[in-house]
Amino acid sequence: MKQGPRLTAAQRAEIEAWENTPLSPEDFEARVRAPWTEREREDFDALVGWFQRRYPTAGERLRAIRHRMVQLRRRMPPVDR
């Protein structure tokens, strides 16, 4: 698998700030409706292919997803309700 680009601390901070900036409903809708680039489609197809090879049956896929959800919940801060 290819390794991503190496980023400086300043580049990482800029990307993090951009990622954490809330989108307006209009901007969100525009991004959702935007067509995929060829690269995005290739990346998606590659990820789906890997997942299907790694977890060939429906049961294995569900177990993997449930396991990942448990891991993510453990990392999330508690939510006040």
Within a domain: 58: yes
Query: CB of 15 within 8 A of CB of 7?
Result: yes
Domain that holds residue 65: 37-81
Q: Does residue 8 lie within any of the structural domains?
A: no
Residue matched to tokens 């698998």: 1
Give the tens place of pLDDT for each residue, 28-66: 999 999 999 999 999 999 999 999 999 999 999 999 999
DSSP string, 10-73: HHHHHHHHHHTSPPPHHHHHHHHHSPPPHHHHHHHHHHHHHHHHHS-SHHHHHHHHHHHHHHHH
Task: Name the band, by pLDDT with cuts 50, 70 and 90, for residue 81.
Answer: low
In a domain, 45, yes or no: yes
- Domain assignment of residue 74, yes or no: yes
- Closest by alpha carbon to 24, among 13, 32, 12? 32
In a domain, 57, yes or no: yes
Structural domain total, the chain:
1
